[in-house]
Amino acid sequence: MRQGIADIIREALISAHGDGLIKTAEPPAYSVETSKKEEFGDYSTNAAMLLAPLEKKGPRQIAGVIKERIAAFPQVEKCEVAGPGFINIFLKKSYWLSVLEDIVRQGAGFGRSQTGAGRRVQVEFVSANPTGPLHIGHGRGAAVGDALANILKAAGYDVEKEYYINDVGRQMNTLGRSVFLRHQELLGKTITFPEDSYKGEYIKEVAADFIAKNGEKYRDAPEDLAVPVFSRFAGEALLERIRTDLKDFGVEFDRWCSEKALVEKGLVEATIDEIKKRGYIYEAEGALWFRTTGFGDDKDRVLTKADGSRTYFASDIAYHRDKVERGFSTIVDVWGADHHGYEGRVRALVKALGYDDSVLKVIFIQLVALLRNGVPVPMGKREGEFVTLRQVMDEVGVDACRFFFLMRRSDAHLDFDLELAKSQAPENPVYYVQYCHARIKSIIGFAKEKGAVIPEDFDSKLLSRLDQKEEVEIIKHLGSFGEVVERSAAAMEPHRVTFYLMELAGLFHPYYNKNRVVTEDPELTAARLLLCGAVATVAANGLRLLGVSAPDKM
């Protein structure tokens, strides 16, 4: 829709140049935006203001010339010059009404576009260590990553979702030892639990599982022999829980990438070798360093510690090299905000390998503050009593949970009130949007009962009955859905779709309250049913992108 306007303006500029009215042959990068106010028309452009310095004429004078050309297009009702030199374009109502036809014809496909042109994008998210259950912060990352993937797909990108499993290293040892000790305790031994072990209740559950499957044969095993066994067992068990939680949360990955597998395939060695070949490796203080400062990082980074073991970053460079070389046009990392210091070094890696680091996009997920009736719910991972995603989704439901996670920009703090998310009060935005869909379905059901004709074609006579201000306003909003999806994809900001839906519901509910859809007038009824059906379709399409259901009944 907006693109069409941009083309009209472009043609107008070129023809004005052809007739010698303006000197500039190549139009400047003018904006086309939906007008903020009704009196400014449907769309506005700043083209004349940008041309003014080039033409050495007043912007309003130039605007006057272009205006005439734009007004000549058949879709255009009228065209005005306003303010400092804006050109405001008013479209004919018939142009807007055609949006309804598009929606009914395209159905679930309405809002999709080809702007991504099939470019391959990889989104890596959650990637929680398999050392415990997913907590609420992972849930936010899951909702954002999954919705982003949906939105990118809708905008025509070829998307792959991936989960990176940190299944080697010290934390896995700690996990193994923690489970081993708990299992000894369950078998009646007195143990002392070291400070740095995992203390959550789930450790005991995994230990009990272990005993159920393996009996008591490790009861008196020496720790250094037992830990690897328990580590592998616990890692697999916890990863399985994570998969289940995510599946129940509505998130499925295309690929699970194991750090251990990367190490075993020798990719870490190979990556270090390559960087070495490029001359960015040096040894100091007994450690092996990567000179990332040459690529904008603030410090050089250790890859191999003095004790010979590798850092986490060593695996990560192998992982990111692998991702970049898999040929994605963009790789997206969705990280917790506490990792933001990490971006510089990964960016440095990408550049050191000779790639443009614009292939990398990092999205940071800020912390979630869990509230209950406005009072903070205590969270302390250290005490082993952090709130899990499972607890929250079981309490408030997946729909409310996902919607709340997507209600804010991901890099902004989020207050998540459990009671609000559960409430059926009007101030709960999840239901506000879902109810919009359910309500329309109910209206259509009622109309069928009454024997009303559900319209199938779009003759102008029918559409001309949609002549109220509110109706046109709704239609315009429906028409902008595709642009919202495109911009949401381009900016990688899923919350824009959430806001769009709240606005849509905010237009529909008042309309419903003011106007009766099913009336004695069959033509008017048909026209309004058509509009309502379109609203329901777009609401459902938007909710689907967020991974939130669109119920027919509530």
Does the protein bind RNA through residue 306 (CB under 7 A)?
yes
Q: What residues from 422 to 441 belong to the interface with RNA (CB under 7 A)?
A: 424-429, 431-432, 435, 438-439, 441
Q: CB under 7 A: which stretch of 42-50, 63-71, 266-274, 375-383 binds RNA?
A: 42-50
- If you ran DSSP here, which 8-state letter would residue 309 be given? P
Structure token digits, residue 226? 């037992």
Distance of closest approach, residue 219 Cβ to RNA, in angstroms: 29
By beta-carbon proximity to RNA, the closer residue of 257 and 337 is: 337
Q: CB under 7 A: which stretch of 49-57, 132-140, 204-212, 264-272 binds RNA?
A: 49-57
Q: What residues from 490 to 509 belong to the interface with RNA (CB under 7 A)?
A: 490-491, 493, 495-496, 499, 502, 505-506, 509
Does the protein bind RNA through residue 46 (CB under 7 A)?
yes
By beta-carbon proximity to RNA, the closer residue of 444 and 463 is: 444
DSSP β-bridge partners for residue 332: 123, 361
CB 502 within 8 Å of CB 432: yes
Please give the size of the binding site for RNA, defined by CB under 7 A: 92
By beta-carbon proximity to RNA, the closer residue of 155 and 438 is: 438
By beta-carbon proximity to RNA, the closer residue of 18 and 522 is: 522
Does the protein bind RNA through residue 50 (CB under 7 A)?
yes
DSSP β-bridge partners for residue 160: 122
Does the protein bind RNA through residue 442 (CB under 7 A)?
yes
By beta-carbon proximity to RNA, the closer residue of 194 and 445 is: 445
Distance of closest approach, residue 477 Cβ to RNA, in angstroms: 11
Amino acid code (one letter) for 385: E
Does the protein bind RNA through residue 169 (CB under 7 A)?
yes
Q: What residues from 88 to 117 belong to the interface with RNA (CB under 7 A)?
A: 88
Task: Give the other-Cβ count within 10 Å of 513's Cβ.
Answer: 8
How far is Cα 12 from Cα 157, in angstroms, rounded to an integer? 32
Does the protein bind RNA through residue 294 (CB under 7 A)?
no
For residue 86, count CB atoms less than 10 angstroms from its CB and return exposed for 0-12, middle for 13-18, buried for 19 or more: buried
Distance of closest approach, residue 490 Cβ to RNA, in angstroms: 7
By beta-carbon proximity to RNA, the closer residue of 390 and 477 is: 477
Distance of closest approach, residue 455 Cβ to RNA, in angstroms: 15
CB 139 within 8 Å of CB 245: no
Does the protein bind RNA through residue 515 (CB under 7 A)?
yes
Does the protein bind RNA through residue 282 (CB under 7 A)?
no
By beta-carbon proximity to RNA, the closer residue of 517 and 530 is: 517
CB 289 within 8 Å of CB 301: yes
Task: Give the other-Cβ count within 10 Å of 406's Cβ.
Answer: 28
Among positions 15, 31, 329, 549, the unique one binding RNA when judged by CB under 7 A: 31
Does the protein bind RNA through residue 513 (CB under 7 A)?
yes
Among positions 78, 189, 255, 299, the unique one binding RNA when judged by CB under 7 A: 299
Q: In what order do the strands lie in the sheet with 255-258?
A: 255-258, 158-165, 120-124, 330-336, 360-365
Does the protein bind RNA through residue 411 (CB under 7 A)?
yes
How far is Cα 536 from Cα 107, in angstroms, rounded to an integer? 10
How far is Cα 531 from Cα 444, in angstroms, rounded to an integer? 11
Q: CB under 7 A: which stretch of 100-108, 113-121, 183-191, 308-316 binds RNA?
A: 308-316
Distance of closest approach, residue 359 Cβ to RNA, in angstroms: 19
Among positions 19, 33, 383, 521, the unique one binding RNA when judged by CB under 7 A: 33
Q: CB under 7 A: which stretch of 234-242, 272-280, 459-467, 514-522 binds RNA?
A: 514-522
- The CA-based angle 436-442-443, given to 5 degrees, is 90
Amino acid code (one letter) for 481: F
CB 526 within 8 Å of CB 455: yes
Q: What residues from 229 to 268 belong to the interface with RNA (CB under 7 A)?
A: none
Among positions 98, 115, 122, 171, the unique one binding RNA when judged by CB under 7 A: 171
Does the protein bind RNA through residue 412 (CB under 7 A)?
yes
Torsion of CA 536, 542, 548, 549, to 10 degrees: 20
How far is Cα 375 from Cα 64, in angstroms, rounded to an integer? 59
Among positions 24, 34, 75, 106, the unique one binding RNA when judged by CB under 7 A: 34
DSSP β-bridge partners for residue 122: 160, 331
How far is Cα 508 from Cα 474, in angstroms, rounded to an integer? 7
How far is Cα 313 from Cα 20, in angstroms, rounded to an integer? 61
- If you ran DSSP here, which 8-state letter would residue 468 be given? S
Q: What residues from 192 to 211 belong to the interface with RNA (CB under 7 A)?
A: none
- Quick note: the x/- pattern for RNA over 128-167, rule CB under 7 A, is -x------------------------------------x-
Among positions 9, 22, 40, 331, the unique one binding RNA when judged by CB under 7 A: 40
Torsion of CA 344, 311, 317, 319, to 10 degrees: -120
Distance of closest approach, residue 10 Cβ to RNA, in angstroms: 12
Among positions 91, 387, 414, 540, the unique one binding RNA when judged by CB under 7 A: 414
Does the protein bind RNA through residue 461 (CB under 7 A)?
no
Structure token digits, residue 534? 């379109």
Pairing of β 368-372 and β 414-417: parallel
By beta-carbon proximity to RNA, the closer residue of 183 and 535 is: 535
How far is Cα 59 from Cα 81, in angstroms, rounded to an integer? 10
Q: What residues from 73 to 92 belong to the interface with RNA (CB under 7 A)?
A: 82-84, 86, 88
Would you mind telling me the total number of residues written for the chain in this entry? 554
How far apart, in Å, are the Cα atoms of 353 and each of 193, 274, 496, 543?
A: 44, 8, 34, 40
Distance of closest approach, residue 55 Cβ to RNA, in angstroms: 13
- Which positions ≥6 away from 190 have C-beta within 8 Å? none
